[in-house]
Amino acid sequence: MVSLTDAEKAMRDGAEGPAVAKAMDLLIRYAEALDAPDFVYCNNIAGVPGSSPKWVKDYYKEDGGDYRAVFSRFDLDSDEVVDVPRMNGFSCHLQGGMDPELWREQGMTEEAFANFRSDEAEVAAHGIQVMKTCTPYLAGNVPVMGEHCAWMESSAVVFCNSVIGGRTNCEGRESTSAAMLAKRIPNWGFHTDAFRKGQHAIKVEVPVDSIFEWGMLGYFTGAAVEDAIPVLSGDISDAALIKHKHFGAAAASSGGVEMYHMLGITPEAPTREVAFGGADKGETFTYGAKERAEVYERLNSIGSSRDVDYIMLGCPHYSIDQIADAARMLEGRKVHANTELWIFTSRAVKATAMASGYDRILAAAGAKLMTDTCSAISQAVPPGTKVAAFDSAKQTHYLPAIMGIEGWFGTTQDCIDAACTGRWNGGLH
């Protein structure tokens, strides 16, 4: 049985209103499912509260078919519809379904856009930050070391745990929506010290320095350790936010890694002993020239035609330095007539990109800078796309499978060159 404080009992019993009571009820059922002893206080929540496609609203037609109905019945898994007040915790909305301006180019209907607008107005009216990104840490939500968070989005979860030292499990839609009201999350998994220790070792024997190399190492790591916690050591250098972002997203998609340690690089791995919580455990995997070549081959096994019609950058959402790099590579060039180049980021980063003039460089080259979503989330690609190319191992993992298209994986430069020539000329150098 999960033990409750007096304040938690009062919330469950309705002292803070029916929505908080429903939220607490769901969180108690969830804590019992996990066999968690109690709750942690949590004031940093990132999810997708209440947003839903039209058919879900129609499903709850008898309950009013509105945000209130969806939030009550789906998000809080409540049998009754309750009034949903402004959220109590610091609450952020992660990625959504379409670009607020370029939705027509993404193939969205007027009806879907109207539904999107209405959901967004509700999200804002309920005190939820409209970040609309898979990278909240680049848009105004940077946890601190040890902070208890309740985040969705596997690439953000692995970043929070590993790079920042924040503490979050891979939460779901219902648990994050409930936590936004109750400011509690089960004290289980990554909230506890013991759970955060390394379980397998990865020895890196080839130089891993660029973002491309970090992403391939991430893809290897996930496949090797699945959802366990790896401790990486060896020839890893030039750490930077964007490299961790790519590494973690890749490891979370090929395996399900929710936390990793890099010796001397990530905050909970000052020494091997601290990272493992004692002596080395589990298996030791080696990442050498052979493994590197195999990862590259695996990521490129779904490409056969070198005539590329779609280049997608921005998975996870591009940071401002990645947009700056892409703009430099594109300056004075034109996207090929048979090719589309879409670059995805958050609205916050797009604002900086516009202030810095990158949007004009991208537009002059014929590239589109989009926000809120990505091709995998929105299942939106340019019409007629048969062959796509990516600089993201995660997007290469997901999009071709989701859309039934071919895909290539390479460096950002490979991708920009393909966008401008219509031909894929990437290769492992």
Partner 1 sequence: MATTATRKPDLVIRGRKVVGGVVEGEALATQQTISGWGGVNPMKGEVIESRHELRGVSFAGKILVFPGAKGSSGWSAVFHTSRLAGMSPIGMLFTITTTKAALGAVVLRVPSMTDFDIDPVEHIETGDWLRIDADAGEVQVWKGGRP
Site for partner 1, rule CB under 8 A: 26, 29-30, 32-35, 48, 56, 59, 74, 77, 152-154, 157, 169-175, 188-189, 226-227, 253, 256, 376, 398, 401-402
Q: What is the DSSP letter of 181?
A: H
**DSSP labels for 372-424?**
S--HHHHT---TT--EEEES-HHHHHHHHHHHT-EEEE--HHHHHHHHHHSB-
For residues 251 and 361, which CB has a smaller minimum distance to partner 1 in the complex? 251
* CA separation for the pair 125, 140 (Å, rounded): 19
CB of 376 to partner 1, least distance (A): 8
Minimum CB–partner distance for residue 252 and partner 1 (Å): 9
Q: Which of 335, 284, 329, 281 is nearest to 311 (CA)?
A: 335
Tell me how far apart the 2 most distant CA atoms of the chain are, in Å. Answer: 65
Pull the structure tokens for residue 159. 């970043």
Phi-psi region of 50 (alpha: psi -120 to 50; beta: other; left: phi over 0): left
Q: Which residue blocks in 126-267 are alpha helix, DSSP H? A: 154-159, 173-182, 211-225, 241-254
CB of 113 to partner 1, least distance (A): 22
In terms of CB distance, is 157 or 263 closer to partner 1?
A: 157
Tell me whether residue 66 or residue 77 sits nearer to partner 1 (CB atom): 77
Residue with Cβ nearer partner 1 (187 or 412): 187
Q: CA 360 to CA 331: how far, in whole Å?
A: 10
In the complex with partner 1, the residue whose CB is nearer, 30 or 318, is 30
Rounded-to-integer distance, Cα 132 and Cα 123, Å: 11
Residue closer to partner 1, measured from CB, 206 or 302 = 302
* Cα–Cα distance measured from residue 416 to residue 399, given in angstroms and rounded to the nearest whole number: 19
What are the structure tokens assigned to 88, written together?
Answer: 């109590």
Amino acid identity, position 365: A
Q: Cβ of residue 359: shortest distance to partner 1, in angstroms?
A: 30
Q: Are 424 and 306 in contact (CB under 8 A)?
A: yes
Query: How far is the C-alpha of 391 from the C-alpha of 359, rounded, in Å?
Result: 20
How far apart CA 398 and CA 326 sit, in angstroms, is: 23
Query: What separation, in Å, do the N-terminal and C-terminal C-alpha atoms of the chain show?
Result: 56
Q: Can you name the residues that pair with 56 across neighbouring β-strands?
A: none
Nearer to partner 1, 234 or 303 (CB): 303
Residue 9 burial by Cβ neighbours in a 10 Å radius (0-12, 13-18, 19+) = exposed
Q: Which is nearer to partner 1, 175 or 266 (CB)?
A: 175
Nearest approach, Cβ of 396 to partner 1 (angstroms)? 13
Smallest separation, CB 95 to partner 1 (Å)? 11
Measured from the CB atom, the residue of 77 and 105 that comes closer to partner 1 is 77
For the bound state, the minimum distance from the C-beta of residue 229 to partner 1, rounded and expressed in Å, comes to 13
Q: Which of 16, 56, 36 is nearest to 173 (CA)?
A: 56
Q: How far is the CB of 29 from partner 1 (least distance, A)?
A: 5
Q: Which is nearer to partner 1, 106 or 253 (CB)?
A: 253
Considering the complex, state which of residue 170 and residue 419 has its C-beta at the smaller distance from partner 1.
170
Judged by DSSP in three states, 194 sits in: helix
The least CB distance from residue 295 to partner 1, in Å, is 17
